[in-house]
A = this chain, B = another copy of it.
């Protein structure tokens, strides 16, 4: 079981019955805001977006789960899911039974610690996201988001992630390109060169 090896925490003790492999088509929903929580998930391939919607019609992309990562861990302690989970591209995910995971938490201290670490990472990531949304200028905000997250996906999705309209994001990107702080690879594909403050290079859209 290759996929088990890349899980962020040891699952050797998890009951086999607690695992199910699922295939999602593009735009297919895994669960929706308000659904009863029954499981957390691990992404084998593809990508899943966690999106929350407000009454007023606004939406936020809370998280983009990609290969090798788990998502919806917070639902372990919640009765219902607080956001939608939809595949933005065809995806394979493993469903991990909530009750089995919780049982494992009490039975296996190492597992509990690993899961705690996962949660702590989530908290830090969300804080980084909050920090970025607090930046007023569109240009600065887009650049900061690119450096910190370098999300792969459409510009439109990225725009929602940074809390701007697609147009504002695009205009910010083109200004950043003019300044040489960002490189445009091709239509809808941008990256932050290594030379820009940050060590690593990131792209908005993967060339998958």
Contact = CB atoms under 8 A, between A and B. Distances in A.
Contacts of A106: 109-110, 112-113
Contacts of A59: 134
A144 interface: yes
A106 to B, nearest CB: 4
Nearest to A62: B127
Interface in A37-91: 52, 54, 56, 58-60, 62, 73-74, 76-78, 82-83
Total copies of the chain: 2
Contacts of A28: none
A162 B31 CA distance: 29
Contacts of A60: 130-131, 133-134
Contacts of A77: 116-117, 120-121
Contacts of A19: none
Contacts of A74: 120, 123-124, 127
Interface string A134-155: 1111001000100000000000
A125 to B, nearest CB: 9
A129 interface: yes
A113 B123 contact: no
A57 to B, nearest CB: 10
28 contacts: A52-B131, A54-B131, A58-B136, A60-B130, A60-B131, A60-B134, A73-B120, A74-B120, A74-B123, A74-B124, A102-B113, A105-B109, A105-B112, A105-B113, A105-B116, A106-B109, A106-B112, A109-B109, A119-B119, A119-B120, A119-B123, A123-B123, A123-B126, A126-B130, A129-B130, A130-B133, A133-B133, A134-B163
Interface of A: 52, 54, 56, 58-60, 62, 73-74, 76-78, 82-83, 102, 105-107, 109-110, 112-113, 115-117, 119-124, 126-127, 129-131, 133-137, 140, 144, 163
